[in-house]
Structure 1
Amino acid sequence: MSTDPYRSLLTHLAHCNDSNDIDELLTALLTTKEQHEIANRICIFDLLERGITQRDISEQLGVGIATVSRGAKAMQIHDVSALLATHRQDN
């Protein structure tokens, strides 16, 4: 297979204009647990940016401290500001 499936997914998502289509696709690709883990990662980013301690985030979300630490590390490496702005706008 010459095409990278992940790149195909990114290209497809970039061209989707309908959130229902994106939801349908992600529901097909991700288990309920995976969807929940992604939602938790977004909440971790949000709470970290608000200055909540990793221990408090762990307790609040019911996840391990290692999960929060991985989220903090990812947040240091990647700019998630646009995602957080959308998240906060939706709440």
Structure 2
Amino acid sequence: MSTNPYHSLLEHLANCHDSTDIEVLFRALLTDKEQHEIANRIRIFDLLECGATQRDIAEQLGVGIATVSRGAKAMQSHDVSALLATHRQGS
């Protein structure tokens, strides 16, 4: 097990066998608000990948345009498009 807290978290997530295990871990680690914010970030990524405008995303999710803009910037700087495409194919 890693001594780096972030790497330890990643190892624990990698050891989860299904989404139920991940949900249990997230409920133990994160507040309801934190879970909601992470879910919104993923939704922002998904909607951007589908071609939705930032303004439409903000309205659909009930968040500020700045929240969507931060999500778009994070998506670009971390190049998660390939990961999202893989997830969609597996769904």
TM-score (norm 2): 0.83
1:82 maps to which residue?
Answer: 83
User: 2 CA distance for matches of 1:5 and 1:24?
Assistant: 19
User: 2 CA distance for matches of 1:84 and 1:36?
Assistant: 22
Give the C-alpha shift of residue 71 in structure 1. 0.4
The 5-angstrom pairing of residues 15-34 of structure 1 reads: 15-34=15-34
Cα RMSD (Å): 2.0
User: 1 CA distance for matches of 2:20 and 2:50?
Assistant: 30
1:68 maps to which residue?
Answer: 68
Give the C-alpha shift of residue 77 in structure 1. 1.1
Specify every segment of 5 or more residues in structure 1 that has no aligned partner in the other structure, as ranges: none
Larger RCO: Structure 1 or Structure 2 (Cα < 8 Å, ≥ 6 residues apart)?
A: 1
2:41 maps to which residue?
Answer: 41
Moved more, 81-90 or 53-62: 81-90
Secondary structure of 1:40's counterpart equals helix
* Closer/same/farther in 2, CA of residues 32 and 18 from structure 1, 3 Å limit: same
Identity among equivalent positions (%) equals 72
Moved more, 73-82 or 62-71: 73-82
Moved more, 29-38 or 74-83: 74-83
TM-score (norm 1): 0.83
Give the C-alpha shift of residue 49 in structure 1. 1.2
1:52 maps to which residue?
Answer: 52
Q: Which runs of 4+ in 1 moved over 3 A?
A: 87-90
For the 8 Å contact 2:46–2:84, the answer to whether it is kept is no
Amino acid in structure 2 at the alignment position of 1:17: H
